[in-house]
Structure 1
């Protein structure tokens, strides 16, 4: 008689088990967010130092202090021995708009829609999207940040818990269903002065069921134009509308591409990410080519900018892959890069971007270099925006 085999215990998970796991995960995230954002369970904007504000305005700190003492600009709050000043984000943005060197959107021109896209995860799409939005506001622009990713990472990074705090009618879905004609209803003021947020939630997965069914039942329906039409009032109100797109070639992603004037593609200089980028451009080009031949629709982007993200300067392959990227995309690749540092990774771990940090406990040089890197990326994007506005202004005048 053979001995009975003793099998390892199974860890079976049924539907009720999945529900319990989901409930626990949501409760844990809520608690983590509340702990990390203490004393309030909502993000608050950082204070801006006088030194940093002077850099934003491209003037010496002594000049900034002089303007404060004369009452030409807000005086801020004196700190320590009274020699340093701190400004609220709203004060800093107002001062930048008053005396900063940055150009504004020309009067009479519409705001521009810029999407941030890549079909591969882990490339820094969401963090780049939010940081670019913040950086543009520090140049004086008004921004509407639109989260179209059903995973809602941008919404989370902006201080909301999607499942608990965002309902379907707060997202773009009422426009998708045809219940609303534009997106103004969904733009919520955020903790960051100058950014309004249109949040996301898992409800957005429903768009890829509804849109193809609607298209099949109504041949006159144009799913690719749903967001473009709804963007018009946003273009009138904001300087820049930035979209965090879905990470797949979905119906909602296509609608967001069709609504966009420009595109940012974060791309880490790593072999697999580079290989994935070639597939992205192949799928991207074939999609629009099929739209051109099947629907007689042409699409033109004012600019497409590849941004090297999560750059690991200490890795030997980094420079080699950079060379591949430069050879492949010479007309698209920007010169500014986003480094991967412990400072940046630790900020993301606390639901923050580099711009959310008021100071850094470690090396001030590391902090300054990280800020300068993101500022350079934002400045390059602003050049593309200004060029687009200039051409449109000239066209209107002709």
Structure 2
């Protein structure tokens, strides 16, 4: 009779091994972050040259220089080579100054929403990995803040990639009851006002509600709440997120939500809270097939929500082509297919596939944070041009909703 081979037992269980490896990786990530951002181990934003600022504000560099000489607006730091260096906070101070000094151009300098213009809530969604959902979210948030808007970024994904991009390591920097879950949880005793969990960031004009694994609690508790008949009106599960966002409506121009990569209760809340949707798609056939399943599921649950009294009316829904290689014929064909089917619902510009975005991601930065010289000049310029074009079209959609030309 053949001798049977038996597996040698190990002294460490699988659960113990995974726990140990998770702790080891977390400690190493914390060490790397401390090394990258000493001494406080927090991110900071680069400064901007006079040329950068003049371009951002749409004024001549000589005008900016004269303002500095006349003591008007913010006073920049003078570097050893005599050049001026501005922080983003100083750029925004100059925006406010120019908006007052030139009232006819106020909206160009400071395009914040005016009385009567509704808060814009943009949900970025897809459940296919690799569609650049978080990258799209962080670049949009940074772009809008650089134009002078007040942005609230909400990390609704338990994996918390958006939080990491803002310098937070979820298991170290985000404690219990410090995510959006704290404001939408069902137990009254532990629920917190939304303002209590909003954090200022190093990026002037952007506040953040970070995420971590506790967001999964909402996915677990919602079925129980539904079964017990809990939640009426704004308390029903698909209205809870929108209701708490409304509590800080006066503080922001735009809310950007990084939705989870699955169609759970958190994502449904984001869809209902949103005034517009961005659906990211990598133009490969397998990704498009996955997106098709996502759309079919989303259609089904939207109908269910509407039957429960939910209102799903979005100012615009747009597909964002990401990681696009215009020299790849199959990708070009997929993009052509999407444009033929969905027309103007596909954003005209696409985000190109470039090493600049990958390099920025390794440093947990957006392209807007990258210093010149950190990657090849032409590579960075090409990447920025494509990301700028996408974000500008989204910004123009926002302005159109606000009734601006």
Q: TM-score, structure 2 length as denominator?
A: 0.89
What are the equivalent positions in structure 2 for 1:243-392 lying under 5 Å apart?
Answer: 243-293=257-307, 295-390=308-403
Query: Where does residue 151 of structure 2 map in the other structure?
Result: 143
d(CA) in 2 for partners of 1:60, 1:363: 27
Deviates more, 1:112-121 or 1:27-36: 27-36
Task: Deviation per CA, 1:248-299: give whole Å up to 9, x if none.
Answer: 0101110111111111122222222222222222111121112223x14331
Q: How much does 1:31 deviate?
A: 1.5
Query: Where does residue 211 of structure 2 map in the other structure?
Result: 200
Task: Deviation per CA, 1:122-163: give whole Å up to 9, x if none.
Answer: 111111111111110111101111111001111111101101
SS where residue 365 of structure 2 aligns?
coil
Q: How much does 1:104 deviate?
A: 2.3
| Residues 98 and 280 of structure 1, relative CA distance in 2, 3 Å threshold | farther
Q: How much does 1:377 deviate?
A: 2.0
d(CA) in 1 for partners of 2:379, 2:66: 29
**Are the equivalent residues in 2 in contact too, given 1:176–1:211 (CA < 8 A)?**
no
Task: Deviation per CA, 1:337-356: give whole Å up to 9, x if none.
Answer: 22221111111011111111
Q: How much does 1:220 deviate?
A: 4.8
d(CA) in 2 for partners of 1:79, 1:313: 41
SS where residue 390 of structure 1 aligns?
coil
**Are the equivalent residues in 2 in contact too, given 1:183–1:230 (CA < 8 A)?**
yes
**Are the equivalent residues in 2 in contact too, given 1:336–1:377 (CA < 8 A)?**
yes
| Residues 76 and 10 of structure 1, relative CA distance in 2, 3 Å threshold | farther
d(CA) in 1 for partners of 2:341, 2:193: 39
d(CA) in 2 for partners of 1:117, 1:47: 32
Task: Deviation per CA, 1:166-194: give whole Å up to 9, x if none.
Answer: 12211122223243374121111111111
**Are the equivalent residues in 2 in contact too, given 1:182–1:232 (CA < 8 A)?**
no
Query: Where does residue 95 of structure 1 map in the other structure?
Result: 94
1:184 corresponds, among 195, 199, 217, to 195
d(CA) in 2 for partners of 1:101, 1:335: 26
**Are the equivalent residues in 2 in contact too, given 1:73–1:95 (CA < 8 A)?**
yes
What are the equivalent positions in structure 2 for 1:54-133 lying under 5 Å apart?
Answer: 54-82=54-82, 84-99=83-98, 100-101=108-109, 103-133=111-141
SS where residue 29 of structure 2 aligns?
helix
d(CA) in 2 for partners of 1:216, 1:158: 37
2:245 corresponds, among 218, 226, 231, to 231
* RMSD of equivalent CA atoms: 2.3
**Are the equivalent residues in 2 in contact too, given 1:110–1:236 (CA < 8 A)?**
no
Query: Where does residue 101 of structure 2 map in the other structure?
Result: none
**Are the equivalent residues in 2 in contact too, given 1:144–1:196 (CA < 8 A)?**
yes
Q: TM-score, structure 1 length as denominator?
A: 0.90
Deviates more, 1:99-108 or 1:374-383: 99-108
Q: How much does 1:102 deviate?
A: 5.5
d(CA) in 1 for partners of 2:52, 2:383: 13
Q: How much does 1:242 deviate?
A: 0.8
d(CA) in 1 for partners of 2:182, 2:369: 32
Q: How many residues align?
A: 388
d(CA) in 2 for partners of 1:212, 1:362: 48
User: 4+ runs of 1 displaced by more than 3 Å?
Assistant: 4-13, 96-102, 178-182
Q: How much does 1:39 deviate?
A: 4.5
**Are the equivalent residues in 1 in contact too, given 2:112–2:150 (CA < 8 A)?**
no
SS where residue 145 of structure 1 aligns?
strand
d(CA) in 2 for partners of 1:98, 1:340: 39
1:173 corresponds, among 160, 181, 191, to 181
Q: How much does 1:246 deviate?
A: 0.9
Task: Deviation per CA, 1:56-109: give whole Å up to 9, x if none.
Answer: 112232232223222233241233532x32211111222234445463211243
Deviates more, 1:125-134 or 1:361-370: 361-370
SS where residue 368 of structure 1 aligns?
helix
Structure 1 segments unaligned to the other structure (5+ residues): 392-398
SS where residue 31 of structure 2 aligns?
helix
**Are the equivalent residues in 1 in contact too, given 2:125–2:260 (CA < 8 A)?**
yes
